[in-house]
């Protein structure tokens, strides 16, 4: 019995010893952070970050409309410019959902439901009853149709007759313009043609689109290719842009989805000059991210990447909207919105655009702080920790001089319709803790853990040696190993050992 116990102990200690030596040797060759990243890119369901990814994107959608406060004065010619009053934020809480359809060692396919839950947040909006407030808007149906058909000769007469009853500026509730904006003439057309008849801005912006992504995961594609897209809906190009003009699209047109990212996760160990392009599905294009600066958020260092650049020239395939050449800092999205209505995106308030809006409007205040879109990426793990995703939708108008007087006044304007900001919520606490541990603590902890492994291994070795040599103490082991000098030392230090007589008596008693 005692014997078995002895060998069991020896066995256990030997295993522990080997384990520590093994761990130590492995740790010499790899950083723990890198090992964690390798685990992360396998994208297993048990990962703590998984739950937060599945229920993403999550955050607040803040939309802003522009109330026209001098419509009558402008049309009568008393005012030469249109006065705009920004109305907002009108805040909705958004929770998305990523439904994993297929998973292999090297890829995962999922369908993104971006706007699965949408809920109005009255207390964070500009006023709780903002949806019931009355505002005055451009008649975007009238403007859009006029712009679209102005290129076709001799339509103006018929158009003027058809739209006689349409006003240029219309009053209505905020709710109406966001969610159920429609016009009798539009409904009439809708009965004859396949036209979407609800022009509500949010209704259309938040409509479900089919987004099925296949992305790289795992160690075979490699860390640098983690979560880079293989295809979208099984296609390599963004379909909306291809459908009416497949020949016009050369390589310079940013619609090729391969190796772009969906802005939910990024490869680990990002550098500031990393080549990162995201698929901006709301504008049907690929957007390059540009590093701007380092920024601290939620106690973590992050790289700030801008989505749009001030004064950037649009790619050739997106620089014109129905014959209107766009100024810098804007790009065409007509193929991406309902009824192919004329529209172009810019940064809010025309920030970073060469459009001279001051000749047509008053009341805008473009600035980087409120209007520049960006994402903050934690570089070690490649996780977005904050983002402000901002776009303004505009209707670029051509020369309207062949139309009615009221429309002619709007010639060559680029009319801001609304803008929105998707503001990512803070990451859940446990994800933040895990990230902080991985980013800040793990590299510092590694030397200590390795020292501990080494100590454990040494102690186990010694313990094994002692037990195998049947020594009762390490002193005895030492004496056994080194022999005489030790005894001498003990005699010198202890000329009259006190315990010896006691030991003798004990022995005598026995
Ligand atoms: C919008 O402008 C109109 C006209 O000036 C004004 O009567 C109305 O109160 C404004 N709406 C809001 C919500 O401020
Ligand atoms: C999952 O993807 C793999 C590789 O692309 C494919 O062979 C397999 O048929 C797919 N499974 C399903 C259920 O679609
Ligand atoms: C908005 O108006 C509707 C009816 O028009 C009313 O039922 C609702 O209570 C109003 N909401 C607010 C917040 O005033
Ligand atoms: C980024 O910069 C580093 C050095 O600063 C360089 O080694 C690397 O090649 C660059 N990468 C790219 C993609 O330009
Ligand atoms: C963009 O160009 C306009 C003139 O076209 C200029 O006034 C503005 O400062 C430029 N903005 C930036 C950020 O370079
Ligand atoms: C206006 O109509 C005339 C004659 O139909 C045409 O020659 C001209 O190009 C039109 N102008 C515009 C700006 O469409």
Distance between Cα 145 and ligand 6 center (Å):
17
Distance CA 17, CA 237 (A): 56
DSSP 366-421: --HHHH--EEEEETTTTEEEEEEEEEEEEEE----TTS-HHHHTTTT-EEEEEEEE
pLDDT for 111: 96
Query: Taking a C-beta distance cutoff of 8 angstroms, is the pair 390, 372 a contact?
Result: yes
Q: Are strands 82-103 and 361-362 parallel, antiparallel or unpaired?
A: parallel
Assess whether the C-beta atom of 271 lies below 6 angstroms from ligand 4.
yes
Which residue puts its alpha carbon closest to atom 5 of ligand 4? 273
Segment-wise mean pLDDT, segments of 10 residues, the chain, 510 residues: 79 89 86 88 84 92 96 93 95 95 94 94 95 93 85 73 82 92 71 73 89 94 94 91 74 91 94 93 93 93 94 91 94 89 95 95 95 95 93 94 87 94 91 90 87 89 84 80 57 50 45
Instruction: Identify the H or E element spanning 374.
Output: strand 374-378
Assess whether the C-beta atom of 31 lies below 6 angstroms from ligand 2.
no
Query: What phi and psi values does residue 115 have, to the nearest 5 degrees?
Result: -120, 55
CA dist 102 → 12, 109, 166, 214, 364 (Å) = 43, 5, 51, 9, 47
> Which tokens is 474 given?
């390490």
Distance between Cα 131 and ligand 3 center (Å):
8
Q: Which residues of 399-419 are buried (b: 16+ CB within 10 A; e: fewer)?
A: ebebbbebbebbeebbbbbbb
Distance CA 364, CA 350 (A): 8
Assess whether the C-beta atom of 127 lies below 6 angstroms from ligand 3.
no
Which residue puts its alpha carbon closest to atom 7 of ligand 3? 132
Distance CA 42, CA 60 (A): 30
Domain boundaries, the chain: 36-427
CA dihedral 192, 194, 199, 205 (to 10 degrees): 180
Other beta carbons less than 10 A from residue 503's beta carbon: 10
Assess whether the C-beta atom of 105 lies below 6 angstroms from ligand 2.
no
Best residue for ligand 1 mutational test, from 73, 131, 134, 177 (most atoms within 8 Å of Cβ): 134
> Which tokens is 39 given?
């685990």
Which residue puts its alpha carbon closest to atom 3 of ligand 6? 402
Which residue puts its alpha carbon closest to atom 10 of ligand 4? 273
CA dihedral 298, 420, 389, 98 (to 10 degrees): 90
Bridge partner list, 290: 306
Assess whether the C-beta atom of 354 lies below 6 angstroms from ligand 5.
yes
Report the atom number in ligand 6 closest to the C-alpha of 398.
13
Q: Which residues have CB under 8 Å from 313's CB, separation 6+?
A: 319, 328
Assess whether the C-beta atom of 370 lies below 6 angstroms from ligand 5.
no
pLDDT for 506: 46
Distance between Cα 113 and ligand 2 center (Å):
21
Other beta carbons less than 10 A from residue 359's beta carbon: 10
Best residue for ligand 2 mutational test, from 104, 212, 218 (most atoms within 8 Å of Cβ): 104
pLDDT for 484: 53
Q: What's the gap between Cα 44 and its chain centre?
A: 20
Question: What is the SS3 assignment for 471?
Answer: coil
Distance CA 318, CA 335 (A): 10
The model carries a pTM of 0.85
Query: Taking a C-beta distance cutoff of 8 angstroms, is the pair 178, 66 a contact?
Result: no
Q: Which ligand is nearest to the CA of 170?
A: 1
Distance between Cα 175 and ligand 3 center (Å):
10
Which residue puts its alpha carbon closest to atom 6 of ligand 6? 153
Question: What is the SS3 assignment for 173?
Answer: strand
Best residue for ligand 3 mutational test, from 121, 127, 129, 174 (most atoms within 8 Å of Cβ): 129
CA dihedral 460, 461, 463, 464 (to 10 degrees): 110
> Which tokens is 198 given?
């609800």
Counting DSSP H helices and E strands in the chain, the numbers are 17, 19
Query: Taking a C-beta distance cutoff of 8 angstroms, is the pair 151, 323 a contact?
Result: yes
Assess whether the C-beta atom of 488 lies below 6 angstroms from ligand 4.
no
Distance CA 269, CA 36 (A): 12
């Amino acid at each position: 019995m005692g014997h078995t116990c002895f060998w069991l102990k020896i066995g256990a200690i030997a295993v522990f010893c080997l384990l520590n030596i093994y761990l130590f040797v492995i740790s010499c060759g790899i950083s723990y952070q890198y090992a964690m990243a390798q685990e992360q890119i396998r994208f297993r369901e048990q990962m703590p970050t998984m739950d937060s990814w599945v229920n993403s994107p999550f955050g607040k959608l803040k939309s802003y409309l522009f109330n026209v406060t001098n419509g009558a004065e402008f049309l009568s010619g008393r005012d030469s410019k249109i006065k705009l009053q920004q109305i907002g934020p009108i805040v909705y809480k958004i929770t998305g959902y990523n439904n994993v359809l297929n998973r292999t060692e090297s890829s995962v396919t999922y369908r993104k439901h971006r706007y699965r839950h949408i809920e109005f947040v009255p207390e964070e909006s500009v006023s709780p009853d903002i949806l019931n407030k009355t505002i005055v808007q451009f008649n975007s149906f009238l403007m859009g149709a006029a712009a679209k058909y102005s290129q076709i000769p001799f339509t103006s007469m018929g158009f003027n007759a058809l739209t006689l009853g349409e006003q240029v500026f219309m009053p209505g509730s905020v709710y109406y313009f966001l969610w159920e904006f429609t016009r009798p003439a539009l409904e009439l057309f809708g009965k004859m043609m396949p036209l979407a008849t609800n022009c509500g801005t949010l209704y259309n912006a938040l409509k479900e689109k089919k987004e099925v992504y296949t992305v790289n995961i795992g160690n075979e594609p490699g860390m640098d290719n983690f979560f880079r897209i293989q295809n979208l809906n099984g296609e390599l190009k963004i379909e909306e842009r291809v459908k009416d003009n497949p020949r016009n699209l050369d390589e310079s047109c940013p619609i090729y989805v391969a190796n772009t990212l969906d802005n939910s996760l990024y490869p680990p160990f990002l550098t500031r000059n990393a080549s990162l392009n995201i698929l901006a599905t709301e504008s049907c294009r690929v957007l390059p991210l540009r590093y701007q600066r380092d920024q601290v958020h939620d106690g973590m260092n992050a790289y700030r990447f801008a989505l749009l650049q001030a004064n950037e020239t649009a790619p050739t395939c997106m620089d014109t909207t129905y014959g209107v050449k766009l100024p810098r800092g804007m790009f065409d999205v007509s193929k991406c919105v309902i009824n192919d209505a004329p529209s172009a995106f810019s940064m809010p308030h025309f920030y970073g655009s060469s459009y001279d809006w001051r000749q047509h409007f008053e009341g805008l205040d473009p600035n980087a702080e409120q209007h520049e879109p960006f994402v903050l990426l934690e570089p070690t793990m490649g996780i977005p920790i904050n983002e402000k995703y901002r776009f303004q939708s505009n209707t670029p108008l051509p020369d309207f001089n062949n139309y009615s007087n009221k429309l002619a006044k709007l010639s060559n304007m680029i009319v801001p319709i609304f803008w929105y900001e998707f503001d990512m919520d803070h990451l859940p606490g446990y994800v933040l803790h895990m990230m902080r541990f991985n980013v800040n603590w793990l590299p510092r902890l590694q030397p200590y853990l390795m020292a501990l492994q080494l100590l454990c291994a040494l102690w186990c070795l010694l313990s094994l040696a002692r037990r195998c040599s049947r020594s009762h103490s390490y002193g005895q082991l030492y004496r056994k190993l080194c022999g005489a000098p030790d005894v001498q030392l003990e005699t010198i230090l202890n000329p009259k050992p006190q315990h010896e007589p006691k030991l003798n008596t004990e022995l005598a008693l026995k």
